[in-house]
Amino acid sequence: MQTRFVLIQTSHAGNVGGVARAMKVMGFDDLVLVQPRWANVLRREETIQRASGANDVLARARIVDTLDEALDGISHLCATAMTPRDFGPPTRPPREHFAGLLGAGEPPEGVAFLFGSERFGMRNEDVYRCHVALSIPTAPGFGSLNLAAAVQLIAYDWRLALGGFEAPPVVADRAQADAKALSGMLDHLEQALVAVDFLDPLAPKKLMPRLNQLFNRAAPSDEEVHILRGVAKAMLQTAEKAKR
């Protein structure tokens, strides 16, 4: 499905760069500008700096004179408007609309998200052309969003609706220490606890079985077992020095 982001009469070059970056991190690259303030906006230094590496999106972007040109090949139009229009399309939250759009029969061949100028938003006549007006749920008393931030939120919700990307693991998978290594570490720790008078060997109660269960739940790696044995070693050395 083709996805296009359309900026109408954008006045700040930095916002164009910010939009390109917002699109790229969500995997989109079809950007069209309708009558931007700067004819060379895609090459301006502020635009490139704010794009922060999304130069390929800027390189593919097009500048056109009319909204009709921007919508070529698109069948479903989504306005972005905080204020509902009396004679406009229905106003819906993005996720609610996307779920219905993709879950009802044949999905559209192309979807465009339209954003108005920073100062005035979308014109009524442009909103009226759309199938829906997307309203991002914001705090009731302050719904003013930066253009690039609004694009980021819409792009994120749309990417989720399309299936999203698998998040990379925060840490690499690690091998769990085997039972022998864990048993050796517990023996070492027991000696250290006795040495610092934390454990009475004549009345151990259930301390070591409980620690055994604790480390079984924690499933420490070999490296972590080595660290714990290092702690036990330091405890034994400190206890020995204290007896001299």
Give the pair of three-digit tokens for residue 123: 């014109």
What is the tens place of the pLDDT at every residue in 19-76?
999 999 999 999 999 999 989 999 999 999 999 999 999 999 999 999 999 999 999 9
Question: 108 near 75, Cβ under 8 Å?
Answer: yes
* H or E element, residue 3: strand 2-8
Confidence (pTM):
0.72
Cβ–Cβ < 8 Å for 96, 133: no
Which pLDDT tens digit goes with each residue over 121-151?
Answer: 888 899 999 999 999 988 888 878 899 999 9
Taking a C-beta distance cutoff of 8 angstroms, is the pair 237, 195 a contact?
no
Alpha carbon 49 to chain centroid, angstroms: 21
